[in-house]
Chain A
């Protein structure tokens, strides 16, 4: 099933080394700088919509055209922003985070973060077993 080289587990030290590497710091920061503010933004926009619907029904009942009022338009706006944020996230991941994580994964597989630089003689401890 899995070939022998892949079965050689990474040691805890390798993970620590990888975590402390500058490229990982960059990966983490790129991921968080997008995900955290965006999460804050869409949650705030959603809660604003819920609060307006609840506590400002007259405002939300403002008719825009025919029987279509502001509340229904803003509700449909929630759908639009959800689709747009989905698209932005995928574009961000493809362009900004995937290249780093792909490269790091290859280096980890080659044991490039091992203290001895990844020579095959290195003994694995098995400390990095799966949960």
Chain B
């Protein structure tokens, strides 16, 4: 089998892969069209009329959150590095407790459409909205970049498309589909796409998990032993340290990553926006509970799939395949069930990317239209329909940008779980401190919010720019190329790949300091309103009746 893959750069049968993906697209397009008939108001477009049930929203959150990074990146990281890849899934899951305990219900009760609705609630509106919108766009674009990189790798692997021009065409098609879902279906269409995708993804992962476990007599120890037998020379995949244990710097990097993962989720704008699609705070709670169960179970599957890929395919074959670590899950599917299972898993992986990019696009476009256009530029003097029109245009622009980034990302070859981790670091630095302060600290002021958002965002971006991610990364002996985005130059001085360890505490500190040094008196009446609304749900936006 490995020889087959080496001889031909694609695996499976591209026709079957395309057919299954095409079927998913047709079904979801039909549903999107049906959903679009109910799209009348801004609340319909941005928040699906707040008519999504808690259970449905839980599935949609899982569909939004379990990105290509989760499916392809984590499985790949576990297959190659074992234990150290496992940390990603633990961080991604535990993070949901922050959302459940501190954020979801309170945000549902106080926001209309975007994160900025809450952050600007008791502050001076325009500067805070502007800041929140900028950080929303930054997080969404990083996340989009990761998804598009995933789409590019997958295309190379599964469709037998190898030329750069042909790959660009495929990424453009993915982007165009995403724009279409968002324009026609709005949040409701996007939600249905995410629900279908989550269902398919979890069933697909379940089948692979049982299959792998079955091969090892349902014995976890035997599976780990199998993965260890195939592991790269001198590496113990059952023990910590394979990826991050080499030096003191890489150990710190691991801690930094862990911090960014656990604090990032509750600051992801596209996750927050999903809470506004349910009728009440109780439904928001119910949807997070569903999401935690689904996501947790999925990550347990991905542990088995990752070690299974390590044991049955082997890290050397995975790393040699196009798409490298991201190819682990598809290669395992081929090993287990041949072309048909591979086709199904490939279709699911494409569906995953489509659903996530649609969610990101609608969030970013809503933030621009609602916060920047309607509130900052037009100072609130705009109708709901005018705002939605701007949101639709923004969706097209963002779609075009992400197509461009996706085409560029094809050449980069970074692990997508790693790129997503950077998006998490920005969300944890720029958004989470302000969200926590706004909800729980009554002396928080406009200046504190601005310092925290901009301080977190700028420090995060600068530290990434001067990290080994961008330049000066170690040279890979096999390929002779650096792991950095830019080859042959080195302007890095920040040693860690993930900036979270520095930028998250800094942002919390700046939020506190900015408030302390500010002459502005916190608005007591607005604070009372925010607090009472957050905890009791009075005055919360209601579902749209149709």
Q: Which of B100-144 contact A (CB under 8 A)?
A: 100-102, 110-112, 117-118, 120-121, 125
- The listed residue (A24, A35, A97, A128) touching B102 by CB distance below 8 A is A35
- Bound form: Cα–Cα A72–B228 in Å: 14
CB-CB under 8 A from A127, the residues of chain B are 525
Q: Does the CB pair A66–B102 fall under 8 Å?
A: no
Q: Number of contact residues on B: which range applies?
A: 35 or more
Q: Does the CB pair B83–A53 fall under 8 Å?
A: yes
A79 and B225 in contact, given A24-B535, A86-B100 (Cβ under 8 angstroms): no
Is B413 an interface residue, CB under 8 A from the partner? Answer: no
Is B443 an interface residue, CB under 8 A from the partner? Answer: no
Q: Does the CB pair B538–A104 fall under 8 Å?
A: yes
Q: Does the CB pair A130–B262 fall under 8 Å?
A: no
Q: Does the CB pair B535–A82 fall under 8 Å?
A: no
Is B29 an interface residue, CB under 8 A from the partner? Answer: no
Which of B177-185, B235-243, B453-461 lines the interface with chain A?
A: B235-243
Instruction: Write out, one digit per residue, whether chain B residues 516-531 have a CB within 8 A of any chain A CB (1) or not (0).
Output: 0000000011101101
Instruction: Write out, one digit per residue, whether chain B residues 274-289 have a CB within 8 A of any chain A CB (1) or not (0).
Output: 0000000010010011
Q: Which of A22-72 contact B (CB under 8 A)?
A: 24, 27-28, 31, 34-35, 38-39, 42-43, 46-47, 49-51, 53-55, 57, 60-61, 65-69, 71-72
Tell me the nearest residue of chain A to B282, going by C-beta: A98
Q: Which of A82-125 contact B (CB under 8 A)?
A: 82-83, 85-86, 89-90, 93, 97-98, 101, 104-105, 108-109
Is B18 an interface residue, CB under 8 A from the partner? Answer: no
Q: Does the CB pair A57–B97 fall under 8 Å?
A: no
- The listed residue (A24, A28, A69, A85) touching B239 by CB distance below 8 A is A69
- Bound form: Cα–Cα A97–B539 in Å: 18
CB-CB under 8 A from A90, the residues of chain B are 285, 289
- Bound form: Cα–Cα A93–B280 in Å: 14
CB-CB under 8 A from A6, the residues of chain B are 542
Q: Does the CB pair B101–A18 fall under 8 Å?
A: no
Q: Does the CB pair A67–B292 fall under 8 Å?
A: no
Q: Does the CB pair A61–B296 fall under 8 Å?
A: no
Instruction: Write out, one digit per residue, whether chain A residues 73-87 have a CB within 8 A of any chain B CB (1) or not (0).
Output: 001101100110110
- Bound form: Cα–Cα A90–B282 in Å: 10
Q: Does the CB pair A83–B535 fall under 8 Å?
A: no
Q: Does the CB pair B285–A65 fall under 8 Å?
A: no
- The listed residue (A9, A28, A57, A89) touching B245 by CB distance below 8 A is A57
Q: Does the CB pair B296–A82 fall under 8 Å?
A: yes
Tell me the nearest residue of chain A to B541, going by C-beta: A130
Q: Does the CB pair A39–B101 fall under 8 Å?
A: yes
- Bound form: Cα–Cα A53–B245 in Å: 9
Q: Does the CB pair B117–A131 fall under 8 Å?
A: yes
Q: Does the CB pair B97–A42 fall under 8 Å?
A: yes
Instruction: Write out, one digit per residue, whether chain A residues 2-14 have a CB within 8 A of any chain B CB (1) or not (0).
Output: 1000100110110
Instruction: Write out, one digit per residue, whether chain B residues 59-96 have a CB within 8 A of any chain A CB (1) or not (0).
Output: 00000000000000000000000011011001101101
Q: Does the CB pair A1–B117 fall under 8 Å?
A: no
Q: Does the CB pair B120–A82 fall under 8 Å?
A: no
Q: Does the CB pair A68–B220 fall under 8 Å?
A: yes
Tell me the nearest residue of chain B to A87, going by C-beta: B289
- Bound form: Cα–Cα A53–B81 in Å: 14
- Bound form: Cα–Cα A43–B90 in Å: 12
Shortest distance from the beta carbon of A50 to any chain B beta carbon, whole Å:
4
- Bound form: Cα–Cα A60–B96 in Å: 25
- Bound form: Cα–Cα A38–B97 in Å: 9
**For A28, A35, A60, A130, which residue has the most chain B Cβ atoms within 10 angstroms?**
A130
Residues of A whose CB lies within 8 Å of any CB of B are: 1-2, 6, 9-10, 12-13, 15-16, 18-19, 24, 27-28, 31, 34-35, 38-39, 42-43, 46-47, 49-51, 53-55, 57, 60-61, 65-69, 71-72, 75-76, 78-79, 82-83, 85-86, 89-90, 93, 97-98, 101, 104-105, 108-109, 127-128, 130-131
A sample of 10 more A-B contacts (CB under 8 A), given A42-B97, A67-B222, A67-B238, is A19-B532, A31-B535, A46-B262, A47-B259, A51-B255, A53-B83, A53-B240, A54-B241, A66-B221, A97-B535
Cβ-closest 6 pairs across A and B = A66-B221, A67-B224, A50-B258, A12-B525, A19-B528, A53-B240
A selection of 11 A-B contacts at a CB cut-off of 8 Å is A24-B532, A28-B535, A31-B535, A51-B255, A61-B238, A72-B83, A72-B238, A83-B293, A86-B288, A101-B536, A130-B539
Residues of B whose CB lies within 8 Å of any CB of A are: 83-84, 86-87, 90-91, 93-94, 96-98, 100-102, 110-112, 117-118, 120-121, 125, 219-222, 224-225, 228, 236, 238-241, 244-245, 251, 254-255, 258-259, 262, 282, 285, 288-289, 292-293, 296, 299-300, 524-526, 528-529, 531-533, 535-539, 541-542, 544-545
